[in-house]
């Protein structure tokens, strides 16, 4: 296959997958982010990289946000929101953090393949992205290897949440850029 044939297949399956994401649940997560005193974000592996991108965008919006596990991450409270990105929703370190956050009274949001998972049972907000990975099979079959479709969909979903937040907060890209790192 050519580059353009692969590109067309990937874009088509991204569109098909993202068409299943609930706009209502995106709205619920957006409102939860706006209500939270602080936002904590977590994910591991390749999904963790996508969640780190989300964390940076939230910071660019001027929100108080931390990626869990960093040395400057403070303790969570019952006024905060923990957002976890996990395809399986079954990663042991993420489960441990979700359980601890729940005990404290922190709200939990999960972006995952299926809500039928351990973290899904703990979450207050769930966004489902039915993209298959090596660990979780779905009715969809991806032309891409491993969990690429989920990770790409996770990134695009989080970018759409950012765009919704920009809309609610009436913040422009130029205003966000003022929070961009200037010591690089």
| CATH code for position 36 | 3.40.50.10490
Closest CA to 100 of 126, 128, 78, 71: 78
For this structure, is 151 an active site residue? Answer: yes
Residues 58, 59, 61, 63: what is their CA dihedral angle, to the nearest 10 degrees?
90
SS3 per residue for 44-93: CHHHHHHHHHHHHHHHHCCCCEEECCCCCCCCCCCCCEEEEECCCCCCHH
Contacts (Cβ under 8 Å, ≥6 apart) of 27:
164
Is residue 149 assigned to a domain?
yes
Residue 136: pLDDT band with limits 50, 70, 90: confident
Q: With respect to residue 120, please indicate whether it lies within any of the assigned structural domains.
A: yes
> Is residue 15 in a domain?
yes
Confirm whether 64 is domain-assigned.
yes
Q: How many structural domains are present in the chain?
A: 1
Q: How confident is the model at residue 92 (pLDDT cuts 50, 70, 90)?
A: very high
Q: Is residue 72 one of the residues assigned to a domain? A: yes
Residue 141 lies in a domain: yes
Query: Does residue 53 or residue 138 have the better pLDDT?
Result: 53
User: Above 90 in pLDDT, residue 35?
Assistant: yes
Lowest mean pLDDT among 85-99, 111-125, 130-144, 150-164: 130-144
* Token pair in block for residue 48: 């963790």
Q: Using 50, 70 and 90 to split pLDDT, how confident is the model at 141?
A: confident
pLDDT given for residue 2 in this prediction: 96
The one catalytic residue among 128, 151, 170, 184: 151
Is pLDDT above 90 for 134?
Answer: no
Please check whether residue 183 lies inside any domain of the structure: no
The range of the structural domain enclosing residue 86 comes to 3-177
pTM: 0.96
Whether residue 182 lies inside any domain: the answer is no
């Amino acid at each position: 296959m050519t580059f353009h044939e692969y590109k067309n297949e990937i874009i088509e399956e991204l569109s098909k997958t993202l068409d299943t994401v609930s706009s209502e649940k995106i709205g619920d997560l957006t409102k939860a982010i706006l209500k939270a005193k602080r936002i904590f974000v977590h994910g591991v592996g390749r999904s963790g990289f996508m969640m780190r991108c989300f964390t940076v965008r939230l910071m660019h919006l001027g929100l108080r946000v931390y990626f869990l596990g960093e040395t400057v991450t403070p303790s969570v409270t019952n006024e905060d929101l923990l957002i976890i990105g996990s395809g399986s929703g079954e990663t042991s370190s993420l489960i441990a953090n979700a359980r601890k956050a729940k005990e404290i009274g922190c709200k939990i949001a999960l972006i995952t393949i299926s809500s039928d998972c351990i973290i899904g049972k703990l979450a207050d907000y769930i966004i489902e992205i039915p993209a298959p990975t090596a660990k979780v099979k779905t009715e969809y079959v991806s032309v891409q290897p491993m969990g690429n479709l989920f990770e790409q969909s996770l990134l695009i979903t989080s970018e759409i949440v950012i765009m919704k937040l920009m809309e609610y907060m009436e913040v422009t890209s130029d205003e966000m850029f003022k929070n961009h790192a200037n010591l690089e």
